[in-house]
Amino acid sequence: MSAKKIKHEFKDKVRHQSLDFVAPQIESIIPSISKSNFNIFQRSTFHFFIFLAVVGLNLGISQIVRVRNLYYVANYEPFGFSFGLWSSVLILAILFLSFIYFKLLAKFPIFSLLVMAGAYSNFLEKWILYGNVADYINAYISQFNLADMQIWSGILVINWYVWFGKGRKVKT
């Protein structure tokens, strides 16, 4: 064996050992950075708690707007459609199942959680808590809330990456 080859093998061995030492500390600080040793149960639990935190944030802001009697529009018919309870449950179920079936939750966890948390927040606000959705952001064209912004931004970013993102092969 040549000295150059031995030196190269030694560098590789030291590099792998140092990465094995650092990976657990990185996972303990920020779990989503290193996915190699981070099992699916821990990732899904982390995502579930992020989902609950975003839903809590949306409902908390809506509650503050309602209690302090700040400007808001009580939206009884979102998008101008009159959805019943069962059609809303069906739409929510189709949304969640499509994110699972197309593996969007694994590919785009943050944006998928934004879409699902926004939809679930609006569902809870309309059908469980108040009977309407408080739209408190006035854009002079329409009124919307934080959950609506999460849904739209998540869908736009996911579509952008699916259609124009890195690794997209264009057929000629």
Which residues, 6 or more positions from 73, have their beta carbon under 8 angstroms from its beta carbon? 134, 135, 136, 143
Rounded average pLDDT over 121-139 = 89
Distance of CA 25 to the CA centre of its chain: 25
Q: Based on the domain organization, do 69 and 107 belong to the same domain? A: yes
- As a whole-number percent, the residues of the chain with pLDDT over 70 amount to 69
Give the span between the Cα atoms of 68 and 40, in whole angstroms. 42
| pLDDT band of 44, cuts 50, 70, 90 | confident
Q: Is residue 52 part of a domain?
A: yes
Residue range of the domain that includes 3: 1-38
State the pLDDT at residue 4.
58
Q: Is residue 90 part of a domain?
A: yes
Q: What does each C-alpha distance from 67 to 63, 78, 131, 166 come to in angstroms? A: 6, 22, 15, 45
Rounded average pLDDT over 58-67 = 92
**Residue 155: other Cβ atoms inside 10 A:** 15
Token pair of 44 as six digits: 């899904």
Task: Give 95-124 pLDDT, tens digit per residue.
Answer: 888 888 888 888 888 899 999 999 999 999
Q: Based on the domain organization, do 33 and 47 belong to the same domain? A: no
Task: Give 2-24 pLDDT, tens digit per residue.
Answer: 665 555 565 555 444 444 444 44
In 3-108, where does DSSP find H-type helix?
Answer: 3-29, 40-67, 85-101, 104-107
Rounded average pLDDT over 74-87 = 76
**Residue 107: other Cβ atoms inside 10 A:** 14
Q: Based on the domain organization, do 27 and 104 belong to the same domain? A: no
Q: Based on the domain organization, do 71 and 115 belong to the same domain? A: yes
DSSP for 106-162? HHSHHHHHHHHHHHHHHHIIIIIISSSEEE-EE-SS-EE-HHHHHHHHHHHHHHHHH
Rounded average pLDDT over 25-53 = 63
| pLDDT band of 43, cuts 50, 70, 90 | confident
Q: Based on the domain organization, do 135 and 75 belong to the same domain? A: yes
State the pLDDT at residue 36.
47
Q: Is residue 169 part of a domain?
A: no
Q: Based on the domain organization, do 45 and 80 belong to the same domain? A: yes
Q: Based on the domain organization, do 43 and 117 belong to the same domain? A: yes
Q: Which of 51-55, 56-60, 100-104 has the lowest mean pLDDT?
A: 100-104
